[in-house]
Amino acid sequence: MIGVVVLFGVMAMYRPGSGSDVEVGVASEGPVDVDEEPTPDRTAAAPEPPAAVTTATPPGTDAPATATPAPSDTATASVAGSRRAVVLGDRYAVGPDGEEGYATDLSELTGWDVVDAGGTGAYVDPSGDAFAAAAEAAILETDPPGLMVIAGGADDADAIAAVRPAADELFDTILLTSRDTQLVVVGPIWHEGSPPAEVLAVRDSIEAAARRRNIPFIDPLAEQWITGTGTVAAPAGDGNADRSVSADGTGLTAAGQAYLAERVTARLRVLGLAEPPGAPAS
């Protein structure tokens, strides 16, 4: 049986009994903004060129996100498994006024039965509200998820040195404990213009930990998922933040959450993971 786990940043696939982690896909998208096309920030670029081109629809438009996969980046599972997917996110996974975030939209856009396992997590959190606890609870259930997506890292900017060992331990625990779960990792998201050096350093640590284990990694910073410096209350006219970022500037609007769901779904489609293993194509 093949499982899937998604972390906002990387995905890895295990085939039980094969003696190795089997297939990995990494995909990235170009900037998406209906107002203007931002100049790529080379400091936030991923170390490897994108293998596939994906076009997602920014908030405020009606067209659905689409993705054109590169053949070498597809990792379609062939064995039926759990239809349950778990999303572990940080504050960007929480909707306005504490409402449900993009995980809810993923259930409608994919064939997975998506469970939002938390929206305030981090790799390192002295209070104990870290990804590790939620991941352990999810994989120890009677029905381990077929897919796990871990997305975050921006809230770890004050603990850069501890991020890599925490990510190493988290990924190893998931891969060794639940070989029927496919893992995908999504890196930090940033909504206040160019990401600071601390956030880029966190992104690099998470990516390194994921790539070392052949886990697919998705990089919202290099792909410039959120652009510009405005909010819905104070639009700046320099990117999709005008529609995506909440009035208080701390999180995302409902439109921003729907946009994230489109971007994640597009990536899963490129990787052949938008549907549970063995499920008919939607």
Q: Is 246 part of any domain?
A: no
Rounded Cα distance between 211 and 182, Å, is 15
Would you state the torsion angle of the CA atoms of residues 249, 152, 254, 99, taken in this order, to the nearest 10 degrees? -100
The domain total for the chain is 1
Q: Is 241 part of any domain?
A: no
| Token output for 153 | 């890292």
Q: Is 203 part of any domain?
A: yes
Q: Which domain holds residue 146?
A: 3-188+197-228+253-270
Q: Is 183 part of any domain?
A: yes
- What Rg do the C-alpha atoms of the chain give, in angstroms? 17
Rounded Cα distance between 257 and 64, Å, is 14
Predicted confidence band at 32 (pLDDT cuts at 50, 70, 90)? very low
Choose among 74, 93, 42, 48: nearest CA to 210. Answer: 48
Q: Is 281 part of any domain?
A: no
Rounded Cα distance between 226 and 252, Å, is 10
Predicted confidence band at 255 (pLDDT cuts at 50, 70, 90)? very high
Q: Is 237 part of any domain?
A: no
The string of pLDDT tens digits covering residues 76-128 is 333 345 899 999 988 888 877 777 789 889 989 999 999 887 666 899 976 65
The string of pLDDT tens digits covering residues 140-199 is 666 789 999 999 999 999 999 999 999 999 999 999 988 889 999 999 999 999 999 999
* Model confidence pTM above 0.75: no
Rounded Cα distance between 117 and 150, Å, is 10
CATH number at residue 16: 3.40.50.1110
Q: Are 145 and 1 in contact (CB under 8 A)?
A: no
Q: Is 99 part of any domain?
A: yes
Q: Is 244 part of any domain?
A: no
